[in-house]
Structure 1
Amino acid sequence: MRRSPCPVALSVLAAIVAAPAAAEELFPATLAGHAFLPAFTLVAPPADAPRDLWISGKFTGEGRNDQPMSVMGNVGAAYGGHDTGISLPFIGQPVQGMSGFAMNRAEDGSWFTLTDNGFGSKLNSPDAMLFFHRMAPDFDSGRVERLETVFLRDPDRKVPFRIANEGTESRYLTGADFDPESIQYLDGEIWIGDEFGPWILRAAADGRVISVHPTLLDGALLTGPDTPGTVVPAVPGTDFRVQRSGGYEGMGLQPGTGLLWAMLEKPLLVEGGETEGDFLRVMTFDTATADWTGDSYRFRLSEGAAAIGDFNFIDDSRALVIERDNGEGDAALACAADAADPSDCFPNPARVKNVVLIDTASVDEEGYLRRIGHVDLLDIADPDGKALEGMRPAEGNFSFPFFTIEDVARVDDTHIMVANDNNLPFSGGREIGAAAHNEFILLSVPELLEAR
């Protein structure tokens, strides 16, 4: 016969259950500046690029389309089927997909930032060139100046597989080769985290690839469905462990060590095709030896979060991580549960968009990095009216309700800067029926940056 617990035991148990599950604190954020690069911003390819690359986005539909500006962009049925007002293919290359900030700035104080693989997949991006930029957001004027764009190329044949432009002299890289999602600048060189391999790329400041490094976890090679060598049929969790679009979305450079902390965007797969848990793997790579250290850690996602967007250190051990769900749009404009027409609402609005502060020097027995606290990007105070006209919510606090928010960096002792990847021309989020701009926001978060 089961013995009933005594009243004292019950009261102790109730107290434990009622206690907070985590000590993580929610810190306030105040909008201190707002600037944007217009969604429809294009750049011309270099003069020696193949003529094919002057028209981009030719393969984003069901077949090939060589007629510029002939097919309207759309967010897709899952997000309401809203048109975005910008049509494909493009004449030139879109300056979009802001997918990472480098911690170290250029000598003139501008920021290194990265454009991703182009249009979202290996198959639809063979005419999307890969490049990074130096940008200067001006929070007084509300504009972002693009100072320089550097195109990635492989003239020395360092890429260990056949690239889309293999037979050309210039050998410019495209979105059929890599999906660059994170960037760091160190000693005059650029380090890039890729999602397809996942690979780490080392490049000169002029965009020339110096080396390409596959990923090792516990001594074993990590691959995904888009890694060269993965062949169909391939069994998820057995033949590859990295999810599609699940490679290095964030890659922090630890000050003073030269270590890159490469964080996967999504949980790894296990045999049977399920994920290994609600956490992401983080591996360290030594730039001095150009090799993996063998150390790995875990970052636990909060409830509702599906992926991360960026990862940057703020001192020797503490770092910022963007975590997000897959939602897009203001929850105040969410579609009703029984809505048959989503044309004027968001069926899958943003619910979880956080900037999390972690401590890489505090690791538990299972390898989890300690989460110190976070700010909510969907609840940003704006007492001084810093939000730009046309980008303010109808009511309530300012928010950053974009599908992919993929850039965060410390600006000074009290401020951080955050930016979105606008997935041109396939994402909205700010306004129904309009493509999202590349927005940069300056946030005053002194409590977050002081927390330990």
Structure 2
Amino acid sequence: MLKRAIMTSVALAALSLSAAAEEKAFPSKLAGHVYLPALSLIAPPADAPRDAWISGKFTGKARNDKPMTVPGDVGKAYGSHLTGISLPFIGQPMQGMSGFAMNRAEDGSVFTLTDNGYGAKLNSPDALLFFHRMKPDFAAGKIERAETVFLRDPDRKVPFRIAYEGTDSRYLTGADFDPESIQYLNGEIWIGDEFGPYIIRAKADGRIVAVYPTLLDGKALTGPDTPGTVVPAVPGKDFRVQRSGGYEGMALQPGTNLLWGMLEKPLLGDDGKPEGDYLRVITFDTGKAEWTGQSFKFKLAEGAAAIGDFNFIDATRALVIERDNGEGDASLACAADAQDKSACYPVSAKVKHIVLVDTSRIDADGFIHRIGYIDLMDVNDPDGKALKSVTGREPNGRFTFPFFTIEDVMRVDDTHIMIANDNNLPFSGGREIGKAANNEFILLETGDFLNAK
């Protein structure tokens, strides 16, 4: 029996290696490039608390109510480059996009999401939560924001005290949830949250219908920011989800209407360390409003640290954004011994992939089959579609998408996909040193990739 088990193990390992070897890099061509300016602000609803009119007041060490007085920068690890935009803001930042819904609205517009605001629970209590309907027009070179819908909890469905608990309108903020993925089904919005992690169900007008805690193998999954996690808490024992490690991607499967929620980072084991170089994918039945009990694994490529979005393109195949934590084109990477990092990227972008997977092919260890990928750091641009006003350079036949957080992907048609970034306003650059990243949308022609099996 032992010999047979060893042989089986070896055979499975060989199959796994074979599957990895079969994964193919596919070419892509830039077919369109549009953007929303980095500093795109919108007014809060008329019935929102006055507090929401100045957002980003708590992003520093002390409260600051003076608009546009604290310069944003990318952080010490990334060279402390200023981004040219200062906090706090008058109004709410539209910010970067953090997820595309597979299904479009009746008018053809795309549902997309703005996340918790400023990156953490503690610094975002004045950042309202909302989603949009966007109309990118690559032919005309523009994006129309058709509608913004603010999330609110008038029926007290959220199972914990929210930041605006004592208000009549009960709008949700980044101190309540970190929404990172979105789907639209039968007139309702489904949102994947990172703090709980939770699945949030809402009406199309933003009213919360239900909040579902996550169950894996019959046990609740929680993180350090889940209400009820008490400090001091032991990672791996008191919580298993890493900070900012909840549902970055949540795909809606056609036909079954199952939500496939993919965690952004590996779960923690009993020792407090990541359980492996893979991410958990947990399925939820929208019809029954309950977890199916099934879960799977997504294997990360070498150098990848997280995912950004997850969307089906047919009944079984889906697109996943896979990324490292780098930012900035490698042509401007700092030398290994550089002391002055003011004009270079200390952690340049390397792994920025769109991966095609087949959920009908699960191996013996529960891993979803990877078919192939597109390298977003090596996109062909023979027609000069890249916007010089955005990239800061003349089109040269090659295009890169060198952002820290690329968080939106969806199929457009049989030969095209659309991708967008989360610009973490005002904390991310990526295009030009000293400039905040814009909200970029790109259209890629990649028929061979979309037809791969």
TM-score using structure 2 length: 0.95
Cross-structure match for 2:95: 96
1:31-42 matches, cutoff 5 A: 31-42=30-41
Equivalence for 1:9: none
Using the TM superposition, give the Cα deviation of residue 22 of structure 1 relative to its aligned residue in structure 2, in angstroms.
2.0
Amino acid of the residue matched to residue 348 of structure 2? P
The answer to whether the 8 A contact 1:100-1:407 is kept is: yes
Match of residue 169 from structure 2: 170
- Equivalent position of 1:130 in the other structure: 129
Find the aligned partners of 2:209 and 2:165 in 1 and give their Cα distance.
17
Give the partner amino acid of 2:377: L
CA contact (8 A) 1:37 1:145 kept: no
Q: Is the 8 A contact 1:30 1:445 kept in 2?
A: yes
What residue is the counterpart of 1:409 in the other structure? 410
Cα offset, 1:294, TM superposition: 0.2
For 1:149 and 1:21, locate their aligned partners in 2 and report how far apart those are by CA, in whole Å.
42
Q: C-alpha displacement at 1:142, in angstroms?
A: 2.2
Deviation >6 Å, runs of 4+: none
The answer to whether the Cα contact below 8 Å between 2:43 and 2:91 also exists between their aligned partners in 1 is yes
Q: Where do residues 366-377 of structure 1 align in structure 2 (5 Å cutoff)?
A: 366-377=365-376
Q: Distance in 1 between matches of 2:157 and 2:38?
A: 33
CA distance in 1, matches of 2:186, 2:241: 30
> Over residues 395-435 of structure 1, what are the superposed CA-to-partner deviations in whole Å (9 max), with x where a residue is unaligned?
56100000000000000000000000000000000110000
Q: Distance in 2 between matches of 1:253 and 1:120?
A: 25
CA contact (8 A) 2:382 2:397 kept: no
- Mean Cα displacement is larger for which, 35-44 or 19-28? 19-28
Partner of 1:12: none
1:297 aligns with 296
- The corresponding residue for 2:154 is 155
Which residue of structure 1 aligns with residue 226 of structure 2? 227
1:433 matched to 2:434:
yes
Which residue is equivalent to 1:358?
357
Counterpart of 1:429, as a letter, is G
Counterpart of 2:250? Answer: 251
Post-superposition shift, 1:143?
1.8
Deviation at 1:222, TM superposition (A): 0.2
In the alignment, the residues of structure 1 paired with residue 160 and residue 73 of structure 2 have an alpha-carbon distance, to the nearest angstrom, of 33
Which residue identity does 2:451 align to in structure 1?
E
SS of residue in 2 equivalent to 1:53: helix
Q: State the distance in 2 between where 1:204 and 1:389 align.
A: 40
Indicate if the aligned counterparts of 1:119 and 1:125 stay in contact, CA closer than 8 A: yes
Q: d(CA) in 1 for partners of 2:409 and 2:248?
A: 12
Q: Distance in 2 between matches of 1:248 and 1:97?
A: 17
Q: Which moved more, 1:390-399 or 1:369-378?
A: 390-399
Distance across 1 between alignment mates of 2:106 and 2:18: 49
Matches within 5 A, 1:193-342: 193-342=192-341
Offset of residue 389 of structure 1: 1.7
CA distance in 2 between counterparts of 1:335 and 1:428 reads 15
TM-superposed deviation, 1:338 = 1.1
Distance 2:447 2:437 in 1: 29
Does the 8 A contact of 2:383 with 2:397 survive in 1? no
Partners of 1:156 and 1:223 in 2: how far apart?
Answer: 24
What residue ranges of structure 2 are gaps of 5+ in the alignment? 1-13
Name the % identity.
Answer: 74
Show the counterpart of 2:400.
399
Classify the secondary structure of the residue corresponding to 1:391: helix
What is the deviation of 1:282? Answer: 0.2
The TM-score with structure 1 as length reference comes to: 0.95
**Cα deviation code 1:246-283 (max 9, x no counterpart):** 00000000001110000000000011211000000000
- The two structures, once aligned, show a CA RMSD in angstroms of 1.4
Q: Please give the secondary structure, in 1, of the residue aligned with 2:21.
A: coil
Paired position in structure 2 for 1:444? 445
Equivalent in the alignment of 1:7: none
**Deviation (angstroms), 1:21:** 4.9
